[in-house]
Structure 1
Amino acid sequence: MRDIGIPHPRLPLPKRGKGDDLAAFQAWLWEAIPLVEHLGLERMEWQGDVLCWHLKLVPNLNDKGTGFGGSLTAQTTLIGWCWVTLWLRARQRQQDVVVAEASQRFLAPVRGDYRLECRPQDPHATSVLGERLDERGKGRITLVQRLYSGDRLCLEACGDYAVLPEA
């Protein structure tokens, strides 16, 4: 059981030249953020610069038998946080990440298991973020999340994530 106000221990950085083991990261995430184990997250994978989650609908049902907007919104925020955290870890940086601003647009009901994709809004954003981190020790990036049930786009979201200076 987690104590309020006590940070969860950080996951050690991956060895240089090696990417994160996403299954180990997911297991750590379940411990670090207790809500995660209840979101129906089956697995995560990288597809180029896109972080993709595969999720079950059942834990996220609303009273109408479709996806609950609150769960879906939490998932879009969290996948963005994971994207930035994993991106930093691949660069041997262990800095705190927070969401600064987020918005969602619901386009269609989610009626089955789904996938959630997260990527930078601008293709050059990672270069800019890397430069800012090197120069100032902090930076921001805007990420776009899209939720698909089958081939149907059901939700679009956008989040601005801040990388805080090292403590």
Structure 2
Amino acid sequence: MRGVGVPHPRLPLPSPGGEDDPAEFLTWLGEAIPMVAHLGIREMRRDGARLTWELALTPSLNDKGTGFGGALAAQTTLLGWCWTTLWLRRHGLSRDVVVAEATQRFLAPVTGDYRLECLPEDEAGPERLNTRLADKGRGRIALVQRLWCGDTLCLEARGDYAVLPAT
């Protein structure tokens, strides 16, 4: 077991122009962040700028039998971190990412298995991040996460993710 303050080894970057295998990335993520094994993530997929997780509700149940807000908020934050990390990796960069700010707005109870989606708040966000990284060696991107239970939007979240300078 890894100790406090000991970083987990980074996943090797995909081949130039390649992408991460979603199952391999999720396996690594579960090793790097132990709570991931308890989130109920069944699938991860990317469609253009959108990163989506399919999740089982059972691991995140609250005392009322619906989704526990704290677990759902953690999932939105982690999905944004994954979006940023995977975007960097597709661009051949292995960098540290941290959440700088996160907010959630709960709209309806989560009453069954659900889908969590993440995409840039602004379509030009990824290009601005790319420019900032090239010019300053660090950058930031605003992402939006939405949690859908069937056709019902249950949660909207927003986060700013900072890409730290290379060490």
The alpha carbon displacement at 1:109 in A equals 0.2
Residues 1:48 and 2:48 are matched in the alignment: yes
- CA shift at 1:17, angstroms? 1.6
Are the counterparts in 1 of residues 51 and 119 from structure 2 also a CA contact under 8 Å? yes
**Residues 14-163 of structure 1: pairs in structure 2 closer than 5 A:** 14-163=14-163
Partner Cα distance (2:90, 2:48) in 1: 13
User: Are 1:10 and 2:10 matched, yes or no?
Assistant: yes
Q: Tell me the distance in 1 between the aligned counterparts of 2:42 and 2:59.
A: 12
Residue 28 of structure 1 deviates from its aligned partner by: 0.0
Deviation at 1:47, TM superposition (A): 1.2
Count of matched residue positions in the alignment of Structure 1 and Structure 2: 167
Q: Secondary structure at the match of 2:16?
A: coil
The residue type equivalent to 2:104 in the other structure is Q
Q: How big is the alpha-carbon RMSD for the aligned residues of Structure 1 and Structure 2?
A: 0.4
**Partners of 2:114 and 2:150 within 8 A in 1:** yes
Distance (whole Å) between structure 1 residues aligned to residue 17 and residue 117 of structure 2: 25
Cα offset for 1:2? 2.0
| 3-state SS of paired residue (2:109) | coil
Query: Matched residue of 1:95: which SS?
Result: coil
Cα distance in 2 for residues equivalent to 1:139 and 1:121: 15
Aligned partners of 2:112, 2:136: CA distance in 1, in Å? 44
1:28 corresponds to which letter in structure 2?
W
Structure 1, unmatched stretches of 5+, are none
1:117-139 CA distances to partner (integer Å, 9 max, x unpaired)? 00000000001000000011100
Q: Report the Cα offset of residue 22 of structure 1.
A: 0.9
Distance in 2, Cα, partners of 1:165 & 1:94: 10
Deviation of 1:57 (Å):
0.2
- Provide the TM-score with structure 1 as the length reference: 0.99
Q: SS in structure 1 opposite 2:6?
A: coil
SS in structure 2 opposite 1:2?
coil
**Over residues 85-137 of structure 1, what are the superposed CA-to-partner deviations in whole Å (9 max), with x where a residue is unaligned?**
00000000001000000000000000000000000000000010000000111
Structure 1 segments, 4+ long, off by >4 Å, are none
Measured in 1, the distance between the counterparts of 2:137 and 2:74 equals: 28
- C-alpha distance in 2, partners of 1:52/1:152? 16
Distance 1:152 1:165 in 2: 39
Distance 2:14 2:102 in 1: 29
